[in-house]
Amino acid sequence: MLRITVELIPRGNEDLKKVIAVGEIANVSTLPGFTDEYVALYKEEPFHGVERGPYTCYLRGWPRTVKGVWELIHATASEALKNNANRRSRGKSITLNEAIENWLRDDDCRDSQ
């Protein structure tokens, strides 16, 4: 699993830093060879009282031996933002394991690729 943490550091003062977003990417692959399947979950703290996310996605056939970690983060974040515009999880707390369980039983998520 990969975890991405976004911190806000006001005026560069480390003493004031605050985690404002977290992303997690799990390899759930059952594919042979050099491609993988990933489920990702991105969450952020409310900003001025506005809830955003959580954002989830499923990425199938990712060429892990050809593309790097930042490309994986970009691909999953982009897909998660597209997928979750009107999904039922919007504004609800969710864990990565719950996102994986949702993917396992939700055909429209698996077919988004």
The model's pTM is: 0.76
Supply the pLDDT for residue 100. Answer: 77
Supply the pLDDT for residue 113. Answer: 38
Supply the pLDDT for residue 85. Answer: 60
Supply the pLDDT for residue 13. Answer: 96
Supply the pLDDT for residue 97. Answer: 79
Please give the residue that has the higher pLDDT: either 40 or 93. 40
- Write the pLDDT tens digit of every residue in 2-36: 999 999 999 999 999 999 999 999 998 876 777 78
Q: For the chain, what is the largest distance between any 2 Cα atoms, rounded to a whole number of angstroms?
A: 48
Average pLDDT estimate for 50-71? 88
* Average pLDDT over all residues of the chain: 82
- Write the pLDDT tens digit of every residue in 79-94: 998 876 645 555 567 7
